[in-house]
Amino acid sequence: MRAALFEKRSLEDLRIVEVDEPKINDDEVLIRVVKAGVNPVDYMTVTVLPVNPLPHIPGREFAGIVEKVGKNVKNVVEGDKVAVYTRIFDGTCDMCLDKKEMLCRRGGRIGTDTNGGFAEYVNVKAKNVFKIELDWDIAASLPVSALTSYHALKEAQVKIGDYVAIFGASGNTGMFAVQIAKMMGANVIAISRKYWLKEFGADYIFAYEDAIQKVKDVTNNKMVDVVINSIGNKFFDLSYELLKPGGKLVLFGSLTGSEAKINLSNIYNKHAYIMGTTGGTLKEFYDLIQIAHKLKVRIWKNYKLDEIATAIKNIFSSERDGRIMIIPR
């Protein structure tokens, strides 16, 4: 089969090669990848993150069709369309028993700690796959882009009537955060210049430089209940400024940098909550699939597998206006 593979830590070493089709164990399935999503974590996988195995096939987010099943597999059969929960978990550690599979003590991430979905085929545990009847772009966006936002909003306990401000609202996770927050009954404020977010459920769209005054205006100076910041330290201070007393700032990305200077007195005087979230649980992934037919995704470009290095580089393009997807074959 054809796969994107690297041995050295650079995009220049990422190349398309012929490798053996993965073999499956009794509790695994072989998936023919139909669509894969490109995320900043894929760039990090190729350039800086520890990976296993090496040489390595990246690709954290994908969906496809079951080609083969192990003899102990009961939940899917050959030919099923499936979405994939791309966290590795053992199901027996204290985190898994607490239904927090993404924090498994002996876990990891498919595409980083195992070979991933930038290939024609990938093998995964049957417990990670769910039958679907969804658009492929949506199905391939569920494991990272949609689930990360869904989990963050659930952890923040967003409720009807809350004001939720979303930074990076036009990005991979942001466009789903807008939609899901709206489904939860929130008043959604997209901190962005992309007016197509109105079609995704944003009630308000404010530019970064106008955000503080505009949020004061629409909330009658109360400010927002929840801020979702998926883009890192560049807008950490602004994120905090938009919070009302007792509000929650939720962080799960570091695209613009991972270190921020914090004034502790500001935090405790506002009685603010700063929360970090990552990924999502297996149950949340199942629940997300149940509402996924109501979601939509904006695609900027589809790339062939041969164009994988360009696709990953363009995650950081100023021209990008939506998701980047890979079609392996």
Give tens-digit pLDDT for 42-99. Answer: 999 999 999 999 999 999 999 999 999 999 999 999 999 999 999 999 999 999 999 9
Q: What is the pLDDT of residue 259?
A: 76
**Tens of pLDDT, residues 288-304:** 999 999 999 999 999 99
Quick check: 162 and 186 in contact, CB under 8 A?
A: yes
Evaluate if residue 132 carries a pLDDT over 80: yes
Asked, as a colleague might, if the bond just before 55 is cis with ω within 30 of 0, I would say yes
- Preceding omega of 40 cis (within 30 degrees of 0): no
In this structure, CATH architecture of domain 145-276: 3-Layer(aba) Sandwich (3.40)
Burial readout 95-132 (b: 16 or more C-beta within 10 A, e: otherwise)? bbeeebbbbbeebbbbbbbbbbbbbbbbbbbbbbbbeb
E strands present in 127-186: 129-131, 163-167
pLDDT greater than 70 at residue 103: yes
CATH number for the domain running over 2-141+297-327: 3.90.180.10
The answer to whether 2-141+297-327 and 145-276 have equal CATH topology is no
Distance CA 43, CA 49 (A): 9
53 Rama sector, left if φ>0, alpha if ψ -120 to 50, beta otherwise: beta
Tokens 């102990």 belong to residue: 72
Please write the tens of the pLDDT for every residue from 214-247: 999 999 999 999 999 988 777 888 999 999 999 9
CB atoms within 10 A of CB 27: 13
Give residue 103's Cα distance to chain centre. 15
Packing angle of the helix pair 174-183, 147-155 (nearest 10 deg): 50
**Which contacts qualify for 258-264: CB closer than 8 Å, 24 or more apart?**
258/232, 258/233, 259/233, 260/233, 260/236
Cβ partners under 8 Å of residue 10, min gap 6? 46, 47
Q: What is the pLDDT of residues 163-212, one digit of tens each?
A: 999 999 999 999 999 999 999 999 999 999 999 999 999 999 999 999 99
Supply 329's token pair. 């074959």
- pLDDT of 255: 66
Domain ranges (residues) in the chain: 2-141+297-327, 145-276
The per-residue pLDDT for 257 is: 66
Structure tokens at 89: 């978990």
**Residue 261 clears pLDDT 90, i.e. is over it:** no
pLDDT at res. 254: 67
- Complete DSSP assignment for 241-274: HTEEEEEEEEE---TT-S-----HHHHHHHT-EE
Q: How far apart are CA 88 and CA 104, in angstroms?
A: 8
Q: Are 108 and 86 within 8 A, CB to CB?
A: no
The overall average pLDDT reported for the chain is 96
* pLDDT at residue 256 is higher than 70: no
- Does residue 308 surpass a pLDDT of 90? yes
Q: pLDDT above 70 covers what percent of the chain?
A: 98
106: phi then psi, degrees, rounded to nearest 5: -115, 25
| Confidence (pLDDT) at 40 | 94
